Amino acid sequence: MIKKYVALIDCRQLGYREMVMASLRLNATNPLEGVKNEIEKMEKIKYAYVVTGEYPLFIMAKCLNHQDSMGLIEKLRNLPGVEEVKTEIVLDRIKEDHSIIIPE
């Protein structure tokens, strides 16, 4: 059940000022697996999911500043197979809860 123990660090204290969320729409020329492999290699991306809908990939990344965010978005746009990137920058964190409720 336990995959790994980690320390929860407030990244803002380390200088990370932006969190980027992006949805990626793919074209049919490259398989999903190839794009997934490229995203997995990107250190800034902390969460990546295959989801339903028009944009089958969703990522969340932590970036130092706006320039850093723009560089990541440009990288995502240039991935082979990525047709469109729809992005959002987090303005305020309301809740971040990493706990899991264990069902009885």
Q: Domain residues of the chain, as ranges?
A: 14-89
Fold of 14-89: Alpha-Beta Plaits (3.30.70)
Task: State pTM to two decimals.
Answer: 0.87
Q: Which two tokens stand for residue 99?
A: 């706990």
Spatial separation of the C-alpha atoms in residues 43 and 52, rounded to whole Å: 24
Per-residue pLDDT of the chain (104 residues; tens, 9 = 90+): 788 898 888 888 999 999 999 999 999 877 889 999 999 999 999 999 999 999 999 999 999 999 999 999 999 999 999 999 999 999 998 998 888 898 98
Spatial separation of the C-alpha atoms in residues 38 and 76, rounded to whole Å: 9
Spatial separation of the C-alpha atoms in residues 60 and 3, rounded to whole Å: 20
